C-alpha cells in the first residue's frame, strides 16, 4: 500500500505532509518514521488534506507522541479547514507538555514563521 504522506527535512525543520485525509494508523506510522529521521526539535505537520478522527483517536495519538518524543520540541500543525483546525486545537491540549510548544495554524507560511522564531 502506498504511503499517504512524505517526510522531508529542510532548513532545520522536519516536515510531515499528508496527501490525503489520514487514518489513525497512518499518523502512527508517520510518527514512527519521523522519529527515526528527526534531526531537529522543529516539526511541521501539514494536514491541509484534511483530518477526521474521533476524540479518542486524538488522545491516542497524543499519548503515543508523548512516549516517542522526550526532548523539548516546537511543533506546528497546519489545518486550513474548520473541522481539521478544531480537531487539531483539541489535540494541542491533549499533547501539551511543558517542554513541548505546539501551535495550530491555518497556513503553512504562518506555521513556518513561528517555527523559525527565536525562543524568548
Tell me whether residue 114 is in a domain: no
The Cα 95–Cα 113 span in angstroms is 21
Tell me whether residue 117 is in a domain: no
* Burial status of residue 58 (CB atoms within 10 A of its CB: 0-12, 13-18, 19 or more): buried
Judge whether 44 and 108 are in contact, CB under 8 Å.
Answer: yes
Tell me whether residue 115 is in a domain: no
Tell me whether residue 112 is in a domain: no
Tell me whether residue 10 is in a domain: yes
DSSP 97: B
The Cα 50–Cα 21 span in angstroms is 5
Percentage of the chain with pLDDT > 70?
A: 95
Phi then psi for 36, rounded to 5 degrees? -70, -35
Average pLDDT over residues 23-45: 89
Residue 63: give the domain boundaries.
Answer: 5-105
Domains: count for the chain: 1
How would residue 105 be classed by pLDDT, with cut points 50, 70 and 90? very high
Tell me whether residue 110 is in a domain: no
User: Per-residue pLDDT for 82 more than 90?
Assistant: yes
Residues 6+ apart with CB under 8 A from 49: 18, 19, 20, 21, 22
Write the CATH number for 55. 3.90.190.20
pLDDT in tens, 59-72: 999 999 888 887 77
Amino acid at each position: 500500500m502506498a504511503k499517504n504522506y512524505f517526510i522531508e527535512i529542510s532548513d532545520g525543520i522536519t516536515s510531515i505532509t499528508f496527501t490525503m485525509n489520514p487514518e489513525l494508523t497512518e499518523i502512527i506510522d508517520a510518527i514512527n518514521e519521523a522519529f527515526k529521521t528527526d534531526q531537529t526539535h522543529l516539526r511541521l505537520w501539514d494536514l491541509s488534506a484534511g483530518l477526521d478522527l474521533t476524540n479518542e483517536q486524538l488522545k491516542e495519538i497524543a499519548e503515543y507522541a508523548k512516549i516517542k518524543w522526550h526532548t523539548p520540541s516546537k511543533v506546528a500543525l497546519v489545518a486550513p479547514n474548520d473541522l481539521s483546525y478544531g480537531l487539531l486545537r483539541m489535540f494541542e491540549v491533549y499533547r501539551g507538555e511543558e517542554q513541548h510548544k505546539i501551535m495550530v495554524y491555518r497556513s503553512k507560511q504562518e506555521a513556518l514563521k513561528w517555527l523559525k522564531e527565536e525562543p524568548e
